[in-house]
Structure 1
Amino acid sequence: MTAVASPRRWLFVLTILVGSFLLFLVQPMVARMVLPRLGGAPMVWNSAMLVYQALLLGGYAYAHWLGRFAVRRQAAIHIALLLAAALWLPIGIAQLPPPAPGQEALWVPLLLAASIGPVFFAVAAQAPLMQRWFAADPRAGDPYMLYAASNLGSFAGLISYPALVEPALPLAVQSWGWSAGYALLVLLVAASAAARWRGGADMAGDSGGAEARPTARRQLRWLLIAAVPSGLMLSTTTHLTTDIVAMPLLWVLPLGLYLLSFVIAFAPRAPARIAIVIAPAVLLGVGGLALLSTGGAAMLIAIASLGMLFVVATALHAHLYDLRPAPRYLTLFYLVMSAGGVLGGLFAALAAPLLFDWVYEHPLLVLAAALLLPLPPLLAWEKWTHLSAGATRIMVALFVLTALFASFHLVRTWTGEFAGAALLWGGFIFAIGLLVTRWRWAYATVLALLMVGLGGWSTLHDSLSDMRVRSYFGVYTVTDDPWRHQRRLAHGTTLHGLQRTDAGHELDPTTYYGPQSGVGLALDRIEVLAGPGASVGIVGLGAGTLACYRRPGQHWTIFEIDPVMVDIARDPTKFTFLSRCAPHAPVVIGDARLQIAGQPAGRFDILVIDAFSSDAIPLHLLTREAIGIYARALKPDGLLLIHISNRFFNLEPVLDAEAKARGWAAAIRNDPAGRGDDPDMLTRSSWVALAATPQRLAQLTGPLKSADKAHEDGAWIALAGRPHFDRWTDDYASTLPILYWNHIFFGRSE
Structure 2
Amino acid sequence: MVEKPGHQPPSRVADCCQAGLFTATILVSAFLLFWVQPLFAKMILPILGGSSSVWTTSMLFFQFTLLAGYLYAHFSSRLLAAGPQILLHLILLGAAFLSLPFYIDSTNAETPAGSPVFWVLSFAALTVGLPFFMVSATAPLLQRWFSLTRHKDRDNPYFLYAASNLGSMAALFCFPLIFEPSFGVHLQTIYWRTAYGVLAALFLASGIVTFTNLDFENTKKSPAKDQALPASESDRISTASRLSWVFLAFVPSSMMLGLTSHVTTDITPIAMFWIVPLAIYLLSFVLVFSRYRHLIGDKGLAAIIILCTSALILMKFAGFVKTADAAMISIALHTTLFFATAWLLHGYLSSSRPRAAHLTEFYLWLSIGGMLGGMFNAVVAPIIFNQVYEYYAIILPVYFFAMKVLVEKKSAGAAACQSGATINLATLFGMFVVLLLVADTIMSRPITATVRWTFVAGSTASVVIAGIAALYALGRLPRHLVFYVIVLAVLCNALVLYSTHTNLLLTRSFYGSLKVKVKHDSDGVPYHLFIHGSTQHNLQRVAADARERTEPLLYYHRQANLTHAIRAIQSHQSHQHRPLHLGVVGLGAGATSAYLEEGDTATFYEIDPEVVAMAKNRNYFTFLDDARGQTEIIVGDARLQLQKAGNDSFDILLIDAFSSDSVPVHLLTAEAVEMYLHKLKDDGVLIFHLSNRYLDLKKVMQGYRLPDGSAIYYASKRGVEKPADSAKLSVGLFSHSRVALIAKESALPEEITLSTRWLKLEHDPDFTTWTDDFSNVLGVLKF
TM-score tier by shorter-chain length is 0.7 to 0.9
Deviation at 1:516, TM superposition (A): 3.4
In structure 2, the partner of 1:435 is none
Does 2:341 match 1:330? no
Cα distance in 2 for partners of 1:20, 1:731 equals 25
Change (3 A) 1:694 1:316: same
Cα distance in 2 for partners of 1:510, 1:117 equals 48
Maintained 8 Å contact 2:683/2:746: no
Does 2:206 match 1:192? yes
Does 2:752 match 1:701? yes
- Report the 3-state secondary structure (helix = DSSP H, G, I; strand = E; otherwise coil) of the residue aligned with 1:497: strand
- Report the 3-state secondary structure (helix = DSSP H, G, I; strand = E; otherwise coil) of the residue aligned with 1:174: helix
In structure 2, the partner of 1:100 is 112
Change (3 A) 1:553 1:51: same
In structure 2, the partner of 1:182 is 196
Change (3 A) 1:579 1:102: same
Deviation at 1:461, TM superposition (A): 3.3
CA RMSD of aligned residues (A): 2.9
Counterpart among 496, 500, 503 of residue 537 in structure 2: 496
Counterpart among 520, 529, 550 of residue 573 in structure 2: 529
Deviation at 1:667, TM superposition (A): 0.5
Change (3 A) 1:602 1:661: closer
In structure 1, the partner of 2:557 is 514
Does 2:244 match 1:231? no
- Supply the AA of the counterpart residue of 1:738: V
- Report the 3-state secondary structure (helix = DSSP H, G, I; strand = E; otherwise coil) of the residue aligned with 1:34: helix
Counterpart among 119, 124, 131 of residue 143 in structure 2: 131
Cα distance in 2 for partners of 1:499, 1:121 equals 51
Runs of 5+ in structure 2 lacking a partner?
A: 1-7, 226-233, 411-475, 727-731
Cα distance in 2 for partners of 1:739, 1:447 equals 43
Q: Which aligned pairs between 1:715-730 and structure 2 lie closer than 5 A?
A: 715-719=757-761, 721-730=763-772
- Report the 3-state secondary structure (helix = DSSP H, G, I; strand = E; otherwise coil) of the residue aligned with 1:678: helix
In structure 2, the partner of 1:629 is 675
Does 2:780 match 1:738? yes
Q: What TM-score, normalized to structure 1?
A: 0.84
Cα distance in 1 for partners of 2:246, 2:767 equals 49
Maintained 8 Å contact 1:657/1:721: yes
Q: Which aligned pairs between 1:251-400 and structure 2 lie closer than 5 A?
A: 251-271=274-294, 274-287=296-309, 289=312, 295-296=321-322, 297-369=326-398, 376-378=405-407, 380=409
Which has the higher mean CA deviation after the structures are superposed, 480-489 or 350-359? 480-489
Give per-residue Cα distances to partners, 1:82-139, cap 9 Å, x unaligned.
1111122112127895222213122122222211000111111111111111111252
Q: Which aligned pairs between 1:27-42 and structure 2 lie closer than 5 A?
A: 27-42=37-52
Maintained 8 Å contact 1:570/1:576: yes
- Supply the AA of the counterpart residue of 2:711: A
Q: Give the share of equivalent positions with the same residue, in percent.
A: 35
- Report the 3-state secondary structure (helix = DSSP H, G, I; strand = E; otherwise coil) of the residue aligned with 1:479: strand
Change (3 A) 1:589 1:699: farther
Cα distance in 2 for partners of 1:25, 1:84 equals 20
- Supply the AA of the counterpart residue of 2:195: G
Which has the higher mean CA deviation after the structures are superposed, 660-669 or 505-514? 660-669
Q: Which aligned pairs between 1:519-668 and structure 2 lie closer than 5 A?
A: 519-525=562-568, 526=570, 528-529=572-573, 531-581=577-627, 584-660=630-706, 664-668=710-714
Change (3 A) 1:270 1:345: closer
- Supply the AA of the counterpart residue of 1:227: F
Maintained 8 Å contact 1:518/1:686: yes
Does 2:76 match 1:66? yes
In structure 2, the partner of 1:154 is 168
Cα distance in 2 for partners of 1:451, 1:157 equals 43
Change (3 A) 1:681 1:275: farther
In structure 2, the partner of 1:477 is 515
- Supply the AA of the counterpart residue of 1:495: Q
Cα distance in 2 for partners of 1:375, 1:153 equals 35
Cα distance in 1 for partners of 2:337, 2:506 equals 27
- Report the 3-state secondary structure (helix = DSSP H, G, I; strand = E; otherwise coil) of the residue aligned with 2:153: coil
Change (3 A) 1:337 1:311: same
- Supply the AA of the counterpart residue of 1:574: Y
In structure 2, the partner of 1:52 is 62
Deviation at 1:529, TM superposition (A): 1.6
Cα distance in 1 for partners of 2:771, 2:239 equals 52
- Supply the AA of the counterpart residue of 2:19: R
Maintained 8 Å contact 1:60/1:128: yes
In structure 2, the partner of 1:409 is none
Counterpart among 735, 738, 762 of residue 683 in structure 1: 735
Deviation at 1:268, TM superposition (A): 1.1
Maintained 8 Å contact 1:275/1:312: no
- Supply the AA of the counterpart residue of 1:607: L
- Report the 3-state secondary structure (helix = DSSP H, G, I; strand = E; otherwise coil) of the residue aligned with 2:662: coil
Cα distance in 2 for partners of 1:301, 1:450 equals 23
In structure 1, the partner of 2:183 is 169
Which has the higher mean CA deviation after the structures are superposed, 201-210 or 14-23? 201-210
Runs of 5+ in structure 1 lacking a partner?
A: 382-437, 710-714, 742-750
